[in-house]
Structure 1
């Protein structure tokens, strides 16, 4: 078995960006039918080479729009590379976008089963761990309220509780903890440290460099879709902070 749980080779992600301003669906369809739509290539990630060993913790740092979330979506399988290869060896629990995997019209109780199924948990597993999820999320009084009525912090708490109810091989956390209160952030930090000590691999994005340094051994600095530096967290974060 390879030591590497994540292996990315020469991966690029390309999007097509409209080169003119289209104000409505009708105009878009007319231009599409007439073959008048003009697009400009935009590379969100360019020639990424990145290997992660089992049990390592990596922080992704960089300015907004640098490609951090795109890289996490690539690793999670949400996006496919335009070029290059991605090899993942293990189960992923991604917390990438607030509310992802939740149906806003369903209650918290129903969404626990729905989100759990999307993460690959059986109904029996969710049922046997239901109270554990609810207790961690601290949402005992809100189980039968639709998710659309939840605050962003409540949604983040529920998503984190479901994603970490069982030790994943890879845990991906992208800024979702920033919406929670300080007490819950500390609770999540303690949970991530527990998972790391048990061998889970962590990929973590936060605008708080101090938070990244507390949790991660290593860092990858992205800038305009390219790797600017990667390696020891102290060295990479110092270089990044000096640049900004």
Structure 2
């Protein structure tokens, strides 16, 4: 049974400020300071707690810099929290940066193996999906070449095909993905819809009201790393938009 439990999670991003630089901010509690009072870190997440169980469809909303992507990276195991505990039960698939882990000097076929192994799949599982990945990527003989010979769009096609080939238990998604030309984007969008439907737990960070309401039932509003609201997606988004309109 897939499950995510976050207990009092906090994370500080180091802040490197030159002697002649100044930092503009609202409220002194946003920064970690040294003894001289200079800011040395930004509090990206502050005492964040929640639980997602099987069937959860959760949207993360908030302004740019509110902590949405940072939280996804913590849940994906890319960033360790400075305080608190994250417990993940089930296999996690993240589409935050699907090119992460690509080995540029290895062939496309080798990257299929390496990226899938890194995601926890067995060689038997990988080989059972290889033909599907090859066909969906539409890269053909280019898969015999090193990935560093690919265009950005070709890399995205390969990584997208790998990431979406396996049955997701926990799916972490940052906005919607761009994956190549118009025809491929249309095909990728259709595949993504099916991918989301099959996920045991979905956590989607987005600014799109339509996307959140279509795919999520619950929303968490992050504001400077703090949970401002957690509840039904329409109610939380309405509260968020109301505050935005009064800024």
- For this structure pair, what is the TM-score category when the shorter chain's length is used for normalisation? 0.7 to 0.9
1:179 Cα deviation (Å)?
Answer: 5.1
User: Which structure 2 segments of 5+ residues have no match?
Assistant: 21-37
- The residue correspondences of 1:1-244 to structure 2 (distance < 5 A) are 5-20=3-18, 40-175=40-175, 177-178=177-178, 180-181=180-181, 183-242=183-242, 243=244
1:94-128 deviation digits (Å, cap 9, x = unpaired)? 12124101012222222111111111122232222
Superposition TM-score, scaled by structure 1 size: 0.81
Distance 2:182 2:205 in 1: 17
Distance 2:189 2:170 in 1: 16
Question: For the structure 1 residues 64 and 178, does the alpha-carbon distance in structure 2 shift closer, same or farther, using more than 3 Å as the test?
Answer: farther
Alignment length (residue pairs): 229
Question: For the structure 1 residues 112 and 93, does the alpha-carbon distance in structure 2 shift closer, same or farther, using more than 3 Å as the test?
Answer: same
DSSP-derived class of the 1:156 partner: helix
1:145-167 deviation digits (Å, cap 9, x = unpaired)? 43334344433332232122221
1:127-151 deviation digits (Å, cap 9, x = unpaired)? 2211101222332353234333434
The answer to whether the Cα contact below 8 Å between 1:57 and 1:196 also exists between their aligned partners in 2 is no
1:200 Cα deviation (Å)?
Answer: 2.1
Question: For the structure 1 residues 98 and 126, does the alpha-carbon distance in structure 2 shift closer, same or farther, using more than 3 Å as the test?
Answer: closer
DSSP-derived class of the 2:144 partner: coil
Q: Which residue of 1 aligns with 2:27?
A: none
1:21 Cα deviation (Å)?
Answer: 5.3
RMSD: 2.8
Question: For the structure 1 residues 145 and 114, does the alpha-carbon distance in structure 2 shift closer, same or farther, using more than 3 Å as the test?
Answer: same
User: Which structure 1 segments of 5+ residues have no match?
Assistant: 23-37
